[in-house]
Amino acid sequence: MLPPKLQSFLKHGTATANPTTLSTITRWLQTTSPPLSFPSQKQNPPTLTFLADNSTTIEHLKQVHAQMIISSHINDEFAASRLFSSFALSPFGNLDHATRIFSSIHKPNSFMWNTLIRAQQQPHKSLSLYISMRRLGVLPVRGYCVSGDLVDARYVFDEIPMKILSLWTTMICGYAQNFCYNEALELFEGMIVEGFEPNGATLASVLSACARSGVGMHASGD
């Protein structure tokens, strides 16, 4: 069980701590049971990341979190992302704790945004987070598409339960720009089935995919 001061800090604290708080955390790490093995006071990010990824209880994760604070490695983007992911997605994790870590990060990266969206149990919360992410200029699907990583782009796309038109368009354009024309057309058909009206960017990508894949596109009507 965490001491009250440490519980309060982990609940409300940010990425840094004053000497008194660090002393409290250190004493707790030395006496907690079951303890994790920290060979030295100053751990490097790869070691702490490994411990976060391989923790088996919420108490172990909190120990890793405390050690990251002591060593200032909570400011390491990759280490913080892995710790956050373990809290958010592991079977014994804690979404509230993960959200507090997320809120303490000055500029959460796209991985953290995606993880928080995936961890939500309610679709409207996922959509709200996605809209907030877009407003802040974080575009994970687009970024993956630009880099040619369509597997991760599609994974993020599929994890968002309530999709908006711009998200469909980004994924379709990503397929077309990376020469995956059949996938672009299949996704376009799925978008239409879901009741979305294509915009100019969507149609341009679909027309390009049709031309390059040899598929004809026919308009219906008189």
Domain-wise residue ranges, the chain: 1-106, 126-217
Q: Which of 25-29, 33-37, 80-84 has the highest mean pLDDT?
A: 80-84
> Could you tell me which of 139, 80, 111, 105 has the C-alpha nearest to residue 14?
105
pLDDT > 90: what percent of the chain? 9
- From residue 203, give the alpha-carbon distance in Å to each of 54, 115, 148: 46, 31, 21
Cis bond before residue 34 (omega within 30° of 0): yes
Average pLDDT over residues 85-113: 87
Question: Which DSSP letter does residue 197 get?
Answer: P
Predicted local confidence at residue 27, as pLDDT: 52
Name the more confident of 213 and 124: 124
| Mean per-residue pLDDT over the chain, rounded | 75
SS3 at position 48: helix
- CA 222 to CA 138: how far, in whole Å? 43
Check: CATH 1.25.40.10 for 126-217? yes
> Could you tell me which of 95, 160, 101 has the C-alpha nearest to residue 132?
160
Tokens representing residue 141 in the block: 């699907």
